[in-house]
């Protein structure tokens, strides 16, 4: 195919030249042809005249001149080079195509004592310890010779052991699809054992306890599903942290399916989208209490997941609505509610739960957080069919309570986020939806869109329900 294409292109100009400029060429070359011509009249050289019958003969001679040995050699060389490059490209994309390899690693660490809170995945102790282990794995594999092959690791479980504690984690790599899982396993073990010998690692790993098992992507996803707040692309790759967006008012449409897999849309049958909500387990959603002002009857509501309202990726009905007992519509205090699905949703790359933060977690002012929703992009505008996202920053309660801002209306159960200059904000229809914080690629629900004076006005940032304040209330109603 490649060869034919080249040949056609190489010969085309020659034919064109000889055919289009037939007459002109014959006149132009007349002095050269005359030299060899036997036709002389009156001792004078006459221009050679060719009849149509002579033409193929001339063309043949011209071709013979063109294909002298050097040209022929160069042409053959070029063809061979092109075939070589084509084979290289095909090999690269077909044979050398990389694919993901997943492993379950289990090992003992002997220099750390197990703490009871390690059993709770949302505890600060579990989070900090798992980050330390994941960072260590990253150091081991990223700095090794095949460093670019390591994608990431996730701790699945920390459990007690007489010598310290047991760690169970998944490791993800990308290698050429032609490599076997066994070959890669040997490579991984070699890198790890080498690091145990030569690197100063913060954790003492008992080498003889180390086991590595190759697992498929389904098993890997099931294992990761035991953890919240993880985003994956459809090809089972972890999604990178969102790129910052400068400008749900002045935000952008969400780029990818699965970017905000906990986002839900709460819809009143017959009236469409009303509010956002966040998935916190297979059956529970967290949202704002004010979303149910119009209607508290669960049978009148449906819930959808996915980046568009129509068509939805997944749809469920509601079985139960629990409003906070102390929700006050006049002051917006305790603007939080739970909604339970009639049937559970299975976690996938598109539907996933967000992590609830430990009640002790505090975000300093100006921390980057993301708000997402199907709300309007201008005050009093229509609902958006495509999910939108915006990066905003946390604002301290002291600043938010200033006379020129919200003049003391912000209570301990509220959190302000946005920008003092306005411009980027949640708006009508985003209510009940998530404000999330990324901690080492694990996403935490830190706020619920609650209220604000209009949208995106200067000195009137968005006000969110402070989720950490309601951690015990959520646990008391759901057991989560
Ligand atoms: C609303 O009406 C609403 N700018 C939500 C968020 C904000 C204002 C109003 C914050 O649902």
Rounded CA-CA distance 114/129 in Å is 10
CB 451 within 8 A of CB 419: no
What pTM does this model have? 0.76
CB 382 within 8 A of CB 376: yes
Rounded CA-CA distance 371/429 in Å is 12
Structure tokens given for 2: 């490649």
Atom of ligand 1 nearest to the CA of 456: 4
Rounded CA-CA distance 289/286 in Å is 9
Question: CB under 8 Å to 144, separation ≥6 — which residues?
Answer: 150, 191, 194, 195
**Residue 425, ligand 1, Cβ within 6 A:** yes
CB 209 within 8 A of CB 175: no
Question: CB under 8 Å to 168, separation ≥6 — which residues?
Answer: 104, 105, 106, 155, 156, 157, 158, 159
Structure tokens given for 91: 């090999």
- Which CATH number applies to 98-224? 3.30.70.960
Rounded CA-CA distance 136/424 in Å is 37
Rounded CA-CA distance 30/33 in Å is 5
Rounded CA-CA distance 71/350 in Å is 59
Identify which of 451, 423, 422 has the alpha carbon closest to the alpha carbon of residue 435: 451
- How many whole angstroms from 380 Cα to the centroid of ligand 1? 10
CB 106 within 8 A of CB 168: yes
- How many whole angstroms from 424 Cα to the centroid of ligand 1? 12
Domain parsing of the chain, residue ranges: 98-224, 260-341
Rounded CA-CA distance 119/110 in Å is 18
Structure letter (DSSP) for residue 425: B
Catalytic residue among 122, 335, 376, 430: 335
Structure letter (DSSP) for residue 407: T
Catalytic residue among 290, 324, 376, 450: 290
Atom of ligand 1 nearest to the CA of 275: 11
**Residue 430, ligand 1, Cβ within 6 A:** yes
Question: Which residue shows structure tokens 């221009």?
Answer: 47
Q: Choose one of 426, 433, 458, 460 to mutate for the ligand 1 pocket test, by most ligand atoms within 8 angstroms of C-beta.
A: 426
Pairing of strands 442-451, 414-418: unpaired
Structure letter (DSSP) for residue 91: I
Integer Rg of the chain from CA: 35
Q: How many CA atoms lie within 13 A of 235 on its CB side?
A: 8
CA distances from 111 to 126, 140, 283 (A): 16, 18, 39
195 as an active site residue: the answer is no
Rounded CA-CA distance 248/236 in Å is 27
- How many whole angstroms from 343 Cα to the centroid of ligand 1? 30
How many helices (H) and strands (E) would you count in the chain?
10, 19
Atom of ligand 1 nearest to the CA of 463: 10
CB 452 within 8 A of CB 401: no
Identify which of 64, 212, 68, 197 has the alpha carbon closest to the alpha carbon of residue 140: 197
Q: Choose one of 449, 454, 458 to mutate for the ligand 1 pocket test, by most ligand atoms within 8 angstroms of C-beta.
A: 449
Alpha carbon nearest to ligand 1 atom 3, residue: 428
- How many whole angstroms from 469 Cα to the centroid of ligand 1? 21
Pairing of strands 368-373, 434-439: antiparallel
- Tell which CATH architecture fits domain 260-341: Beta Barrel (2.40)
Alpha carbon nearest to ligand 1 atom 6, residue: 427
CA distances from 129 to 80, 114, 151, 165, 211 (A): 58, 10, 20, 11, 20
131 as an active site residue: the answer is no
Question: Which residue shows structure tokens 């009303």?
Answer: 274
**Residue 451, ligand 1, Cβ within 6 A:** yes
Atom of ligand 1 nearest to the CA of 249: 4
- How many whole angstroms from 323 Cα to the centroid of ligand 1? 19
209 as an active site residue: the answer is no
- How many whole angstroms from 272 Cα to the centroid of ligand 1? 18
CA distances from 122 to 207, 326, 443 (A): 29, 26, 11
Element (H, E) at 9: helix 2-20
Q: pLDDT tens track of the chain, all 480 residues?
A: 222 222 233 333 333 333 333 333 333 333 333 333 333 334 444 444 445 455 555 555 655 666 678 888 888 888 888 887 887 666 655 555 788 999 999 999 999 999 999 998 878 899 999 999 999 999 999 877 666 789 989 999 999 999 899 999 999 999 999 999 999 999 999 999 999 888 788 999 999 999 999 999 989 988 988 889 999 876 666 665 544 333 367 777 776 889 999 999 999 999 999 999 999 999 999 999 999 999 999 999 999 999 999 999 999 999 999 999 999 999 999 999 999 999 999 999 899 999 999 888 899 999 999 999 999 999 889 999 999 999 999 999 999 999 999 999 999 999 999 999 999 999 999 999 999 999 988 999 999 999 999 999 999 999 999 999 999 999 999 999
**Residue 417, ligand 1, Cβ within 6 A:** no
**Residue 428, ligand 1, Cβ within 6 A:** yes
**Residue 118, ligand 1, Cβ within 6 A:** no
Q: Choose one of 277, 433, 455 to mutate for the ligand 1 pocket test, by most ligand atoms within 8 angstroms of C-beta.
A: 455
């Amino acid at each position: 195919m490649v060869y034919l294409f080249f040949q056609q292109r190489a010969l085309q100009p020659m034919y064109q030249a000889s055919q289009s400029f037939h007459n002109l060429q014959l006149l132009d070359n007349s002095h050269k042809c005359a030299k060899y011509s036997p036709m002389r009249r009156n001792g004078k050289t006459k221009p050679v005249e060719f009849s149509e019958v002579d033409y193929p003969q001339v063309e043949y001679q011209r071709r013979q001149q063109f294909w002298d040995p050097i040209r022929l050699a160069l042409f053959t060389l070029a063809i061979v080079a092109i075939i070589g490059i084509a084979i290289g490209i095909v090999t690269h994309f077909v044979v050398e195509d990389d694919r993901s390899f997943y492993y379950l690693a289990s090992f003992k660490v002997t220099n750390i004592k197990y703490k009871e809170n390690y059993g709770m995945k949302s505890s600060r102790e579990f989070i900090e310890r798992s980050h330390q282990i994941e960072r260590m794995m990253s150091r081991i594999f990223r700095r090794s010779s095949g460093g670019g092959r390591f994608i990431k690791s996730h701790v699945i479980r920390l459990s007690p052991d007489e010598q310290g504690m047991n760690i169970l984690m998944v490791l993800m790599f990308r290698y050429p699809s032609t490599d076997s899982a066994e070959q890669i396993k040997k490579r991984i073990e070699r890198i790890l054992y080498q690091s145990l010998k030569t690197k100063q690692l913060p954790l003492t790993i008992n080498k003889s306890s180390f086991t590595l098992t190759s697992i498929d992507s389904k098993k890997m996803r099931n294992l990761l599903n035991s953890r919240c707040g993880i985003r994956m692309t459809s090809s089972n790759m972890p999604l990178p942290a969102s790129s910052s967006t400068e400008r749900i008012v002045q935000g952008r449409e969400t780029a990818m399916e699965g970017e905000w897999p906990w986002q839900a849309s709460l819809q009143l049958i017959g009236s469409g989208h009303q509010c956002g909500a966040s998935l916190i387990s297979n059956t529970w959603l967290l949202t704002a209490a004010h979303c149910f002002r119009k209607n508290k009857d669960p049978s009148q509501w449906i819930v959808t997941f996915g980046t568009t309202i129509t068509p939805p990726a997944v749809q469920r009905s509601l079985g139960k609505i629990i409003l906070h007992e102390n929700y006050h519509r006049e002051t917006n205090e305790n603007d939080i509610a739970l909604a339970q699905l009639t049937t559970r949703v299975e976690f996938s790359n598109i539907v996933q739960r967000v992590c609830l933060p430990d009640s002790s977690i505090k975000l300093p002012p100006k921390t980057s957080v993301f708000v997402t929703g199907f709300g309007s992009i201008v005050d009093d505008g229509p609902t958006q069919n495509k999910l939108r996202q915006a990066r905003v920053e946390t604002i301290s309660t002291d600043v938010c309570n200033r006379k020129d801002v919200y003049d003391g209306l912000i209570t301990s159960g509220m959190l302000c986020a946005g920008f003092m200059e306005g411009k980027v904000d949640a708006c009508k229809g985003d209510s009940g939806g998530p404000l999330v914080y990324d901690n080492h690629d694990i996403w935490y629900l830190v706020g619920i869109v609650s209220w604000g004076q209009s949208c995106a006005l200067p000195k009137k940032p968005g006000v969110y329900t402070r989720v950490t304040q309601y951690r015990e209330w959520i646990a008391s109603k759901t057991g989560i």
